[in-house]
Amino acid sequence: MAIVSKVLVIGGSGYIGKYIVEASVKNGHQTYALLREQTFSQPHIQDYFLRLGVHLIHRFIPSEYGMDVSRARVNAIGPAKSLFEAKMVIRQAIEKERIPFTIVCSNYFARICIPYLFQYDIQSSTMDHAIIFGDGTSKAIFSMEEDIATYTMKTINDPRTINKIVHIRPDGNIYSSNQLLSLWENKIGNTVSCKYITEEQLLKDIQDESDALNKLILAVAYSSFVKGDQTNFDLEPSIDVEATKLYPEVKHTTVDEYLDHLAATSSCNTN
User: What are the residue numbers of the active site?
Assistant: 87
Contacts 24+ apart (CB under 8 A), 199-205: 199/133, 199/134, 199/226, 202/133, 202/134, 202/226, 203/77
Other C-beta atoms closer than 10 Å to the C-beta of 190 total 9
DSSP secondary structure letters along 119-168: -S-GGG--TTEEEEETTS-SEEEEE-HHHHHHHHHHTTT-GGGTTEEEE-
Backbone angles phi, psi at 84, to 5 degrees: -65, -40
Q: In this structure, what are the phi and psi dihedrals at residue 32, rounded to the nearest 5 degrees?
A: -120, 145
* C-alpha distance across the termini of the chain, in Å: 48
Q: Which residues contact 267 (CB under 8 A, 6 or more apart)?
A: 188
3-state class (DSSP) for residue 176? strand
> Cα–Cα distance between 151 and 32 in angstroms, integer?
18
Alpha helices in the chain (DSSP H): 15-26, 37-40, 43-52, 69-72, 78-96, 110-113, 145-154, 177-188, 199-208, 212-221, 243-246, 255-270
